[in-house]
Structure 1
Amino acid sequence: MSPGDEQGYTETGHTRTRLPDSDPYGGAPRRPHRSSSRSLVTVVGVVVLLIAAIAFANRGGGSGGDDATTKGSKPQTSSTAPSGTRPVQANSGTIPSGFAHTDQGAQSAAANYAVALGSADMFNKAGRDSILQAIITPSRVASSEAAFDKAYTPVFSKSLGLNDDGTAPKGYTFVSRTSPIGTKVAQSTGNTTTVEVWCSGLLGLAGENSTNPVTNSWFTITMELEWAAGDWKIITHSQKEGPAPVPGDDRASSADEMSKAVDEYGGFTYAR
């Protein structure tokens, strides 16, 4: 048999090689099915990435090694990141206390004290005195009560649409809330620390015919704290406007929506 007499064979010397038949339907040569192996590779790859990410995160702000090629290249813990440390021991509904004797503890105290100073309870005498006795250093409580009594007058209450005693008229809901956005230590000398608390606040009277609707404001409270009787207490504090972001285009809620939100949404204990 001469070369080429039998279809599908080639001859080299005395060896014949059978060539594969072409696809009778004219399609491309069939390939082994590899979807299962690819899926396995994908899963293994994801697991490896997750393990690497967790390991990288756990390195946090640890100290660098001696290797010159990596020294200083590790990410450091951000100064604005929460610590995750439980700072206080307090029952629900009370002003937190028992802060750590550290800068972190001072910032946690200042944030929670800002909430108390911006609450609706400050507008009535009994509630105000209770707050001041809890957060002001013992030697300054009496003078602070006197100073706040001069500020929270019946005239001031009326300017907000409140009764003379600082309570809301029937059918209205008084809103006064402060939410800390962040804190920083401005100065620290061990037993005395100055903390700045950047806050957002809500103030106004929610009701159908209110002439003082609830509005939002931005301000910074500066507190000088001292370590007294086993906790951080306020010596003095002051307030200034801002920093304030550009207002958004959110639709203002109705009086009913605002009243319902105030009644249903509770506050938080803040920790640095």
Structure 2
Amino acid sequence: MSKWVIKLGGAVLNSDNAAQALFAVFAEHPDDQFIVVHGGGALVDTWLQQAGFASAKHLGLRISPREQMPYIVGALAGCANKQLMGQALAVNLTPVGISLFEAGVTSTQKLKALGQVGSCETGSFNLLPILLEKNVLPIVSSIGFDLEGNWYNVNADEAAAAIAQALDAELIFMTDVEAVLDQNKQPLHQLNSGQITQLIDSGVILGGMQVKVETSLLAAQHLRRGVYISSWQKPENLNALLKGEHVGTKITP
């Protein structure tokens, strides 16, 4: 039995039944255990705009002032999380929506300039082993807490990597591109530390993809095995990865 942490980009919610198609792949692998970690940037943008707030990012991370957190938490831990639960129920899975605290991750403030953007630290409480034992699908939003009860908006890629490390699980980032692309917009099938540094320094990888690739590299180093970045738009990619095939970009330690 293998454990898989699947990080879903929030854009999957903008495509009808896209998450449902991915969850149907889980059902084809009954001997494996899955944990879904998700963001929801597009939904957060919409909610903040409707509330009259401007959105801003720094180095691929959303600046999250305290006054915006009720909207960010509502979008991610509320609406996005429950949308994904609904799509899991539609393919006869048993989902439970939780935050990072219940998934064994506590948070602290990453940088004052980023507001309530949180880091990932190992917590003392973790429901995931219990849920997996009961054949439940945990769907984890990227909302974190510190031990004083403060909310944090945590980068979902970093959250997925932390959970995979804690569980010694395989890690797949399902994003909206087929793979990491080179300067000619062609897919890169494998990347190591040196290649990643070169592509970042030359400006080929930047913004949100830079965060994803750097997080993938750290996860690969901690897990001591490859981490994949592939597209949620093709459920067959996920099926291939679960069977051990090489699809998308493999980040190696």
TM superposition score normalised by structure 1? 0.26
- Please identify the structure whose Cα radius of gyration is greater: 1
Bigger relative contact order, structure 1 or 2 (CA pairs below 8 A, ≥6 apart): 2
TM-score (norm 2): 0.27
Structure with the higher fraction of residues in helix conformation: 2
